[in-house]
Structure 1
Amino acid sequence: MKALISAAILLLLAGCSSGPRIDTSYTSLGQDSRAQFIVIHYTSSDLQRSLDILKGNDVSSHYLIGESPATIYRLVDENRRAWHAGDSQWNGRTWLNSSSIGIELVNRGYVEGAQGRLWYPYSEEQIDALIVLLKDIMQRNGLKPGAIVGHSDIAPQRKVDPGPLFPWKRLADAGLVPWPDATAVARQRDLLATAMPDVGWFQAQLARQGYKVPEHGYLDLETRNVIAAFQMKYRPGRFDGEPDVETAALLAVLNAAG
């Protein structure tokens, strides 16, 4: 008798812990992926140190990609929030941890030298692995080109990763990010050479790209940092934060293409 009572209690407890019965025969069309953006970072350290940090309590990312071999580590399930973006904004969305997938690349970033910052390159193997991963994430989440951004794009006042040696053009060639047509940029450069836009124009065009940028019409440090972040992505040979004709042409072509 005691055995029967014990079995009955266990069955009752099991039923209580299984949760409510939910009918899943209907599905709403009004939905999309939790992930709206993919944010690219570098770790500023080697693989072991990167793993030690990202496995801890303070900082995390959904994926980490080694340098060589370019092993892809999944550290956080895509359905859960990772802590990689911090204070951030893109296209009006703030605190992007809740709406993005974070990918960290093992890369030392830069060291300060006599001639300024020395940036470390990315390995071909690592970028190949990244492109495969990005295509998979975008396909599964229904994301379009333009959803991939750098940490420096969403937090230009405090971050510079993935840096000027990150090959954004390779991602563009793979159909993952928009890229300005070179002929159209040259044409715009000629047109703008005789009528250089003012600072307010640059601020408005950068805001259309998605950046959080002041729109007060004068060139302050905050605006320079945003310009530099854009230049680092589309003109990595010079990212001094100066609002010049070539930067204006790049912005005009990208925004005209939507």
Structure 2
Amino acid sequence: MSKILIGAASAALLSACSTLPSGPKIDRSYSSVAQDSRALFLILHYTALDWEKSLKVLSTGGQVSAHYLLRDEPAISYQLVDENRRSWHAGQSFWAGNQNLNAASIGIEIVNAGYTDGPLGRVYAPYPEAQVQELILLIKDIVARHQIRPDRIIGHADIAPGRKQDPGPLFPWRRLAEAGIIPWPAPAQVTAKLPLYEALPPDAAWFQDKLARVGYQVPRNGEMDTQTKSVIATFQMKYRPSDYSGNADAETAALLDVVTTPGGMLLAVPNAAPTPYVSRW
């Protein structure tokens, strides 16, 4: 074949290639009903830093991030990562059989000093009222978009008990319950069960089983070891923050019983009485 013919063939081939589509032909006129959001969990943190340091660490630090950073003064929500992308906020984590929750969660970091250890023990920083109000609005906005289940709105401590403490015992979980965001143990049921556990305290295996049913990663060795006490303390921080010593007392047992009993968790409904929350248990 002559050089002229080879050149002509090459030119024709290049011409044909140039007319190929630049991408696939995708028709998006159909949509399956079998789908949901990739964001299954909403995880709440405190930064343990002031505003300036929090912003620097989460936006330019390169090691951790969050979808949102909620400032303390003024109370403004800043989006740092698109909700459709993964942020690095959960780390090594577990909840209800799910591990490494970064890929399936949205993270909110709340500017809060965390805690200080002093002569009188550990002291946690409060959350300003304006910040709490902004957080409630932000959570409702996220949940509306992704249909995140109320029992999957959890704290960093829940998914890493003992290793993490945030958002701490002063975090207003009860306010979130009153706003209809998360379910809450029915007070009357807790009161009714309290005498039973005062008379007959459960053993370590009972506590471990109930905590595992809530969603925590907890030892199943039947011993009241350090890790089990850490998980109990984390549970207490949420539902009984007046005493989060980690002691397996009767009130904690009553709370655990109600939390894991069908119909024991109530979800507030605007302008109506709270209704039983149908959870995974």
Deviation for aligned residue 1:254: 1.1
> 2:50: which partner in 1?
46
Shift of 1:14: 11
String of CA shifts for 1:59-79, please: whole Å, max 9, x gaps.
Answer: 000000000211100000010
1:161-210 CA distance string (max 9 Å, x none): 00010010000000111111211111110122111111111111001110
* Native 8 Å contact 2:40 2:149 kept in 1: no
Give the TM-score normalised by the residue count of structure 2.
0.85
Secondary structure (helix, strand or coil) at the match of 2:31 reads coil
Over alpha carbons, which structure has the higher Rg? 2
Distance in 2 between the 1:70 and 1:118 partners?
23
What amino acid maps onto 1:48 in structure 2? E
Does the residue aligned with 2:199 lie in a helix, a strand or coil? coil
Change (3 A) 1:114 1:188: same
In the alignment, residue 40 of structure 2 is paired with which amino acid?
Q
The residue type paired with residue 102 of structure 1 is: G
| Equivalent-residue separation in structure 2 for 1:112 and 1:143 (angstroms) | 35
Instruction: Say what the alpha-carbon RMSD is for the aligned residues.
Output: 1.7
CA contact (8 A) 2:237 2:244 kept: yes
* Counterpart Cα distance in 2 of 1:172 and 1:13: 60
* Distance in 1 separating the partners of 2:148 and 2:106: 12
Aligned-pair identity in percent equals: 52
Query: Which residue number corresponds to residue 229 of structure 2?
Result: 224
- Runs of 4+ displaced beyond 2 Å: 12-16
Structure 2: unaligned runs, 5 residues or longer: 1-14, 265-278
Distance (whole Å) between structure 2 residues aligned to residue 15 and residue 126 of structure 1: 51
3-state DSSP of counterpart to 1:104: strand
- In structure 1, what is the Cα distance between the partners aligned to 2:83 and 2:218? 29
Residues 61-210 of structure 1 mapped to structure 2, 5 A cutoff: 61-210=66-215
Cross-structure match for 1:211:
216
Contact 1:62 1:101 in 2 (8 A): yes
**Residues 19-55 of structure 1, C-alpha deviation per residue, up to 9 Å, x if partnerless?**
3221112211221110111000000111110000000
Residues 197 and 181 (structure 1), Cα distance of their counterparts in 2 relative to 1, 3 Å cut? same
**1:143, 1:99 → 2: CA distance?**
11
Could you tell me which residue of structure 1 aligns to residue 250 of structure 2?
Answer: 245
Query: Which letter maps to 2:47?
Result: T
Q: Which runs of 5+ in 1 are unaligned?
A: 1-8
Name whichever of 135-144 and 147-156 sits farther off.
135-144
Aligned pair count reads 248
Q: Distance in 1 between matches of 2:67 and 2:88?
A: 9
Kindly tell me: are residues 55 and 183 of structure 1, through their superposed partners in 2, closer, same or farther at Cα, counting changes over 3 Å? same
The worse-fitting range, judged by mean Cα deviation, of 192-201 and 164-173 is 192-201
